[in-house]
Structure 1
């Protein structure tokens, strides 16, 4: 099926590893020109650049720390310089930590909010002059926004806030033809899981597979498929929505 995405321009934050990498590669294979960024994963950035060269297209992998507002402004400015416009923005970059709530410091609270929420706000705000009618903004959220999880109150708060931000922006930007949606992810199998000791990896995979209707974990490619849908004309009447990419997890 032709998704009518060839030649479109996209920014995907945090695209050198895990879910972000899957999204970048899915878009590139669909003919989208992609700019993505990384904070310090130089080896992964180089391997992604090589994969993108094989696919073909105008792609750029840029170093940027999404916890720094100046880096965000520079990143989006480079999108304008290189592409002249954006048809898709994917807020994927994120941070997580596991901290008992009584020991959660203000510094750590702010770090997680800065990367997961404030960065998404600033990316969208800076990108607005580049977004025209028919463009799409997608933020990568999480199932935890609905169910909560111990030791991650700060992380869960950011993902719940993304939903509220999305709903408000969908109404504010809708008259301009800009759609804004969230993907609420379940457990996605990425390099982080592959790096675990074999016994822990098997336990995690079994535990979460048993909780899903489909009996398995998700993949970055499957998240990429959902982004393709939200980037394409197939979803032209979808905005303000939270689309669950979680395999039916309970």
Structure 2
């Protein structure tokens, strides 16, 4: 069956590039009205604006850094002014870096934590008054939360933290009819080129023989946004091709 999100009002953080962009466009094409945020002006934002206009519906792009409380407040206020409610909040915004743990500066640890865990905390808490019974909160985690990866201890820790946050919030918010889940992508091919040797290695590791796409992630997010997932709560769904 097709997923129809007509009438749904959704906030997606970090929606101008990569997986976030795929989620925004996937939800909009399924009929949802979407607010998304971005941190840096540029062609990615301009082209997304054009694509959303061609898709139809009511969509808004807001410049906001999810690690800054005042900017999160402005983002949520834009959602309240535009939609009055949020049927789903999708936390995609995040940052990553590759640093050996022994050399990891505290400032870089805090930057990753403030964005990848602090952002979801801020946005969820501030948006909560707008989420009605039947609403859905979706955290975009990562498959690395279960397996770990060298040089990304700080990043992995934040993605594992989202799993714990999800399990607690699913119980705390379930009584008011709000579901909370994690989508955990594996290797995803975005607009950034993948080195041939890396692509070949992943093709051997992934039983389906390919990297995932933003659309693969967007489909699962659309399911969790829709009423089809009304009894799915507190779980982490891997989108990784079986790696």
TM range (shorter): over 0.9
Q: Could you tell me which residue of structure 1 aligns to residue 52 of structure 2?
A: 52
| 1:234 is the counterpart of 2:222 | no
List structure 1 runs of 4+ shifted beyond 2 angstroms. Answer: 1-4
Q: What is the CA deviation profile of residues 189-211 of structure 1, one whole-angstrom value per residue up to 9, with x for unaligned ones?
A: 0012x2x5xxxx21111111211
Q: What TM-score comes out, normalization by structure 1 length?
A: 0.95
- C-alpha change, 1:62 and 1:241, in structure 2 (3 Å) is same
State the match for 2:196 in structure 1. Answer: 202
The answer as to whether partners of 2:66 and 2:122 remain within 8 angstroms in 1 is no
Residue in 2 aligned with 1:221? 215
Q: Is the 8 A contact 2:67 2:122 kept in 1?
A: no
Task: Render the CA deviation track for 1:168-187: whole Å, top value 9, x for unaligned.
Answer: 00000001110000011100
- Contiguous gaps of at least 5 residues in structure 1: none
- The alignment partner of 2:98 has SS state of coil
| Shift in Å, 1:43 | 1.2
Post-superposition Cα deviations, 1:106-130, rounded to whole Å, max 9, x if no partner, equal 1000000011001001110001100
Using structure 2 for the length normalisation, give the TM-score.
0.98
Residue equivalent to 1:145 = 145
Output the CA distance in 2 between the equivalents of 1:225 and 1:3. 9
Alignment of 1:1-250 (within 5 A): 1-192=1-192, 194=193, 201-249=195-243
Distance in structure 1 (CA, Å) of the matches to 2:41 and 2:158: 23
What secondary structure does 2:35 align onto?
Answer: strand
Question: Is the CA contact 2:11–2:34 (under 8 Å) kept in the aligned structure 1?
Answer: yes
* Cα contact 1:213–1:248 (8 A) shared by 2: yes
After superposition, the Cα gap between the structure-2 partners of 1:183 and 1:89, relative to the gap in structure 1 and judged at 3 Å, is same
How many Å separate the matches in 2 of 1:16 and 1:93?
10
Q: CA deviation at 1:2?
A: 4.4
Q: What RMSD, in angstroms, separates the aligned Cα atoms of the two structures?
A: 0.9
What is the alpha-carbon distance in structure 1 between the residues aligned to residue 241 and residue 158 of structure 2? 22
Taking structure 1 as reference, are residues 216 and 41 closer, same or farther at Cα in structure 2, changes over 3 Å only?
farther
- Taking a change above 3 Å as real, the CA distance of residues 41 and 212 of structure 1, as seen in their structure-2 partners, is farther
SS at match of 1:137: strand
Residue 73 (structure 1) shift: 1.3
